[in-house]
Structure 1
Amino acid sequence: MNKKQIELSNGEQYFYLDEGNNESVLVLLHGNMSSSIHFLPIIESLQNDFRIIAPDMRGFGDSSYNNHINSIEDFGLDVFLLLDALNIKKYNLLGWSTGGAIALKMAAIRPEAVKKLILLESASYRGYPIFKKDEKGNSIIGTHYDNKEDMAQDTVQVSPFDNAFKNNDVATIAAVWDQLIYPVNKPLKEDGNLFLSESMKQRNLVDVDWALTTFNMSDSSNGVSKGDGTIKNVQCPVLSLWSEKDLVVPEYMIDETVESLNNAKKVVLKNAGHNPLVDCPEKVIIYIKEFAI
């Protein structure tokens, strides 16, 4: 599969996968430390039933990062520009991890365009907090950073990985994936190397982490931002898939998001971690087809 390229009207060079010819469109939105390529385990089995659009978000993969993002919404606005340029009016959305937050925001901004929404190990509609740390490096729950610059100095969750990307420290990022993302199954060596090479292209880690902490679609404060109340604008049916061995997104984040929506259901994937695309792609494919076809 080869990525296509387009210049968005905001000047960003955007790369994306466009597979299948079906009238029904499924847009796949990747998460942090990844790209469109991480969806390869499911694309081939879905492209007979959907036209698959999978972009590299701004600052990820091969897409440009000419202008820094300030919010999760900025990523979604880029995707809208792509879909508008491709003259795609209605579509299903799937968002994995950070991509889930982007998908939720898109569904709130254009509820008439999103037919079905699938959340895969998604960040909460109230964001994903990064707390201050004590002298032992443990999170001090409830203590938030006041600004992006201070958060960027977090020596546990942010700066080691930001430095790894800047210094092309492949071993550090590989260790993150091995320990946190692949607690159940490991990809085949060739696939794992491909996924890792795509991960290393990221240029926006601090901006993404701050966008996640400030993301808040609820009508109450999450400790960093007041919340814009836009979760109520999500009108489409929602399926939230969460793996019982996910070491990144805790179950409470899934539950609070599902409970905030009018038409949502949760499915727990057994014996899978934060990347069910590797752990149980067959199950993910079945749930997508059952829900969105």
Structure 2
Amino acid sequence: MNEFEFKKMHIKNEVLAYREGGVGDRNLLLIHGNMSSSAHFDHLMDALYDDFKIYAVDLRGFGHSSYHDRFDSLKDLSEDLEYFIDKLRLKDLEVLGWSTGGGIAMYLAIDNPEVVKRLILLESVGITGYPMFKKDAQGQAILTELLTTKEEIENDPIQVAPVLNAIKNKDAEFYKMLWNAAIYNVGNQPTPEDYDRYVEEMLLQRNLVDIDYSLTRFNLSHTDNGYGMGTGEIDKIKCPVLIIQGEDDYVVPMAMATGIHEALKDNSRLEILKKSGHNPMVDQFDTVVKLIKEK
């Protein structure tokens, strides 16, 4: 495997850890999702080494980055990356956002059209965000009652509290059980060595409640998502957008991908991957690499 430097950068009140490498003449920024870190991009970065100069950042509160200030919006994390991009003087940037990272990538494209030349949304959160619902006595979602505060989210007995408990206790087996059910649901998994390393990085997360809260408030559409009216900023994305969606994704439903595609109209292309769940970098690795390399 090719070597990538592990570095740290001071931005505002935080320190961002990141991986950098590659010898290509195209600049690529990789933005990970919730319950993960830049470590999940290792094999992808290796496969793209000859075509790109690659930067993969641990977002604030993930992996080896700091978490001095809490946040309420994915835009706060996008602004962290704006500082990162500016300090490195990056231009003509292609940006890939995976899952939650897709929402952050969309903000980057909206606010920095002179820098972001291409957007790749990999199993991305949709433009109306990711709602969270109260649960009944049987643990089933009450679809008419939203969780609205950070306190309610933190105490959610099904989606959040067990994960917070696993992070507190460094419970790697819980994380593997969860990812096997929700992420690696089509039968593919990383190698045991990679899996152990990824989970070790996942357990460094400190911002789960902030992320979940931010996902509920994310709304670039022209409609009300239950938490409020959207900003309509999806219309400001002018660069070409490639949307990659696994047909068997249990985490992000197909409607989120089609919703982004429909909102962007002719400015986007939707690629649906068969036999692929929420992590096509494991389920359909060669296809993902080929799509990213496209010009």
TM-score bracket for this pair, using the shorter chain length = over 0.9
Q: 1:49 & 1:21 partners in 2: Cα distance?
A: 7
Relative to structure 1, the CA distance from residue 157 to residue 24 in structure 2 (aligned partners, 3 Å threshold; closer, same or farther) is: same
Match in the other structure for 1:93: 95
Letter paired with 1:230: E
Match in the other structure for 1:271: 275
1:118-267 aligned within 5 A: 118-184=120-186, 185-262=188-265, 263-267=267-271
Q: 1:142 & 1:48 partners in 2: Cα distance?
A: 50
CA contact (8 A) 1:100 1:123 kept: yes
Q: Secondary structure at the match of 2:30?
A: strand
Runs of 4+ in 1 over 2 A off after TM superposition: none
CA contact (8 A) 1:243 1:271 kept: yes
Q: 1:181 & 1:146 partners in 2: Cα distance?
A: 26
Q: Secondary structure at the match of 1:232?
A: helix
Q: 1:233 & 1:37 partners in 2: Cα distance?
A: 31
CA contact (8 A) 1:107 1:114 kept: yes
Letter paired with 2:108: M
Q: 1:143 & 1:237 partners in 2: Cα distance?
A: 37
CA contact (8 A) 1:41 1:278 kept: no
Letter paired with 1:190: E
TM-score, scaled to structure 2: 0.95
Identity %: 43
Match in the other structure for 2:48: 46
Q: 2:39 & 2:285 partners in 1: Cα distance?
A: 14
Q: CA deviation at 1:206?
A: 0.5
1:81-120 aligned within 5 A: 81-120=83-122
Q: 1:156 & 1:111 partners in 2: Cα distance?
A: 39
Where structure 2 has 5 or more consecutive residues not aligned to the other structure, the ranges are none
Q: Secondary structure at the match of 1:261?
A: helix
Q: CA deviation at 1:120?
A: 0.4
Q: 2:159 & 2:132 partners in 1: Cα distance?
A: 7
Q: Does 1:6 align with 2:9?
A: yes
Decide which moves more: 18-27 or 276-285.
18-27
Match in the other structure for 1:21: 23
CA contact (8 A) 1:14 1:63 kept: yes
CA deviations on 1:264-290 (whole Å, 9 max, x unpaired) are 111111111111111121110001112
Letter paired with 1:65: Y
Q: 2:141 & 2:256 partners in 1: Cα distance?
A: 17
Q: Secondary structure at the match of 1:165?
A: helix
Letter paired with 1:222: N
Q: 1:264 & 1:246 partners in 2: Cα distance?
A: 20
Q: CA deviation at 1:23?
A: 3.1
Q: 1:173 & 1:116 partners in 2: Cα distance?
A: 33
Letter paired with 2:151: E
Aligned length: 290
Q: CA deviation at 1:4?
A: 0.8
Q: 1:61 & 1:45 partners in 2: Cα distance?
A: 22
Q: CA deviation at 1:219?
A: 2.0
Q: 1:84 & 1:248 partners in 2: Cα distance?
A: 33
Q: CA deviation at 1:90?
A: 2.5
CA deviations on 1:162-214 (whole Å, 9 max, x unpaired) are 12112222221121111111112011111111111111110000100000011
Q: 1:86 & 1:26 partners in 2: Cα distance?
A: 13
CA contact (8 A) 1:142 1:223 kept: no
Q: CA deviation at 1:56?
A: 0.3
Q: Secondary structure at the match of 2:119?
A: strand
Q: Secondary structure at the match of 1:3?
A: strand
Letter paired with 1:11: N
Q: 1:212 & 1:121 partners in 2: Cα distance?
A: 14
Decide which moves more: 51-60 or 173-182.
173-182
CA deviations on 1:236-292 (whole Å, 9 max, x unpaired) are 1111000111110000111111111140111111111111111121110001112xx
CA contact (8 A) 2:5 2:21 kept: no
Letter paired with 1:199: M
Where structure 1 has 5 or more consecutive residues not aligned to the other structure, the ranges are none
